[in-house]
Structure 1
Amino acid sequence: MHTVPDDRFELPGNFGPGSVWADRTGERTLKGCNQRGVEIPIGHGEGEISPGELLKLALIGCAGMSSDANLSRRLGEDHDMRLWAHGTSDDEQNRYLTIAEEVQLPLEGLTAQEIAAVVTVFGRAVAAGCTVERTVAGGAEVTHRVLGTEEPDTPQTGQA
């Protein structure tokens, strides 16, 4: 299991818990990695996942994890759940204007009141606990810096 990148480049000073990295593997393709040894091929080709798909997966993954404990209390520890995220980027603005999330849960046999409670619990859990959604909705500041080109205290900002 790889817990740090190979030594082609020096580790940045900010490297630590929560750091991820991506290595170029070819034209417009990367291999995304985390410190637990997970590798994800990033691109638009066969067997690769696009950055937009990763964004949508991060959103629904966080929603599912944030709501899991609360839903387990209502639906049982072994309940099924499938989350979906839909949306395509707007070509003119080069960004996603809307990402629609949907969740499928086993609601058969529940009363209308119990279903309403599940919907409320899910929504509250995601609103309170989904760091990814809170970050996206809050418009997080993103900075960019090319290491080795300036002092570490003066990050370059802008679009990539």
Structure 2
Amino acid sequence: MGKRLWVERNKDGSWDAFSDDGAHLKFGKGKGQFTPGDLMKIALAACAALSSRMAVENAVGEGKGAKIIVDGTYDADNDSYINFNEQVVIDASDANLTDDEVEKLKKRTKAHIEKGCTVMHTYEQETPVRMDIEVRR
């Protein structure tokens, strides 16, 4: 079993997400808050960023990372996203890479993301969700 996560509602209508190890995130549907759909896109971008870190650092320098931009097509009739578009932008302007090195970096980055991104692997398949409801009295 993975890390236990939970959400709790705040009096202002926003929500807080927590983890057993102390992580915290505020979300909701108000201005300046991430929606659950936004969090899906953030999860995809974050996974690609973490998965590509080693390939990018090896080519561009320690502490460097890719900027990952994610958008998606929302289907209002089915209340679901039908696809996600992910753009990986690597600032290699200080690295003086040759054309061959740029192509190798693109291939290595893609390979790292395709191999190591659990979120992408999950989104690419049908993922059943089991739900239990408990009412405490």
Tell me if TM exceeds 0.5.
yes
Identical-pair percentage: 25
Contact 1:81/1:106 (8 A) holds in 2: yes
Q: How many residues align?
A: 134
Name stretches of at least 5 consecutive residues in structure 2 with no aligned partner: none
TM-score by length of 1: 0.75
The yes-or-no answer on 1:127 pairing with 2:120 is no
Question: Equivalent residues in 2 for 1:11-160 (5 A)?
Answer: 17-26=2-11, 29-108=14-93, 109-147=96-134
User: Rg: which structure is higher?
Assistant: 1
Per-residue displacement from partner, 1:69-101 (whole Å, max 9, x unpaired)? 122112211324211111242111211112111
More strand by share: 2
Separation of aligned partners in 1, 2:44 and 2:61: 23
Q: Which has the larger displacement, 112-121 or 83-92?
A: 83-92
Q: Secondary structure at the match of 1:21?
A: strand
Distance in 1 (CA, whole Å) between partners of 2:48 and 2:15 is 26
Compute the TM-score of the two structures, normalised by the length of structure 2.
0.86
State the distance in 2 between where 1:35 and 1:94 align: 30
Which one is further off, 124-133 or 84-93? 84-93
